[in-house]
Amino acid sequence: MTATPHTESAVLVLEDGTRYVGRAYGAVGTTLGEVVFATGMTGYQETLTDPSYAGQIVLQTAPHIGNTGMNTEDRESRRIWVSGYVVRDPSRVVSNWRSEETLDVALDTDGVVGISGIDTRAVTRRIRSVGSMRGGIFSGDAASIDAEEQVRIVREAPEMTGLNLSAEVSVSAAEVTEATGERIGALAVLDLGVKQATIVNLAARGFDVHVLPQSATIDDIRAIDPVAVFYSNGPGDPAASDDHVELLRAVLDDRLPFFGICFGNQLLGRALGLGTYKLPFGHRGINQPVLDKTTGRVEITAHNHGFAVDAPLDGDFESPHGYGRVEVSHVGLNDQVVEGLRALDIPAFSVQYHPEAAAGPHDANYLFDRFRDMVIAANTKDNN
């Protein structure tokens, strides 16, 4: 299988006026979004189909992308979600027996405008020194738009801060995946951008996984008589998700066991009464070291987040919203960012990274077992 290289010109424009000229890749046209970089050397298909990347132009720091093509089995959701895609050297030949189409064809099919042939290392260094910025990819006829006009268009795009994207990525109606392990009961999953690998892992732990729309109410959750509630990963600013925070407080008030990942971690923080803030350039990749303070182990983990929870790293503290004692359970070793929360007086915990790790290492997969054990313990206590 051979990819067909584009000959049309393309340009990546950052909001500070920095420009990088290359060639069109995927769909041709104009796209806008927050420019971020992902450091994974593999797993580009999982990255592209992760709903958490909605609204973002993703740059791959690995230079050679597209080697293994694309297939339907490894998709993490129903489509490619990135707003744009930036690569240095797209593979001209696809060499994998599972491939069903080339990456550039998949991007074109889903209408994703990309750019190739630029110095991605230079762009990464720019973002690391200045911070994530709005940007635009202009290809084909749009590449010849006046440079000042291109910058103006980029600067008029919405910023990620204050942006709520949950409705764009969530299912519109409930979907159920039955347990594949020894059955525990129904699990309510609020879909804020859930990945298929997460659903598979939860079902394997004995949960009938009810994936609910992000607009679900506490009555919708109670209606399935859940043994626990789960908040998924997802895009956007957690400070713009007040409804999801209020829903989670109702869940905690019902003393339902809770587990959240990524966006779900930030929303647990807010429900407990903590603040969130935007990171300079975020954590995106499959090689981030995190300390589990419970075990003392260092795990290599998969991340995709641009916001974080503001909480004291040492000791426990009282939840400002009255949910008892809370502690930071996991800490990022690169920059001391809060990577997990654990409530000590109610059955609730969360992590900022992706234990399903699709793609990525499996160091953190035990967290699904920890969740299962917490749910069983909580239900055993309630029945006694």
Token pair recorded at residue 45: 């298909």
Q: Is 354 a catalytic residue?
A: yes
Question: What b/e string do you get for 103-130 counting C-beta neighbours within 10 Å, with b at 16 or more?
Answer: bbbbbbeeebbbbbbbebeebbebbeee
Q: Point out the catalytic residue in the list 76, 327, 339, 356.
A: 356
In the three-class reduction of DSSP (H, G, I as helix; E, B as strand; rest coil), residue 251 is classed as helix
Residue 64 annotated among the catalytic residues of the structure: no
Instruction: From the candidates 262, 283, 299, 303, give the one annotated as an active-site residue.
Output: 262
Q: 78: exposed, middle or buried (C-beta count within 10 Å: 0-12, 13-18, 19+)?
A: exposed
Q: Is the dihedral of CA 177, 178, 182, 185 positive or negative?
A: positive
What is the maximum span of the chain, computed from C-alpha positions, in angstroms? 72
**What beta strand segments (E) does the chain contain?**
9-14, 19-26, 30-38, 56-60, 64-65, 84-86, 89-90, 113-116, 133-139, 175-177, 185-190, 207-212, 228-231, 258-261, 275-292, 298-310, 316-318, 325-332, 338-343, 348-351
34 is catalytic: no
Output the six-digit token pair for 346. 């109610």
Q: How many CB atoms lie within 10 A of CB 173?
A: 7
User: Per DSSP, what are the bridge partners of residue 30?
Assistant: 138
| Active-site residue set | 262, 354, 356
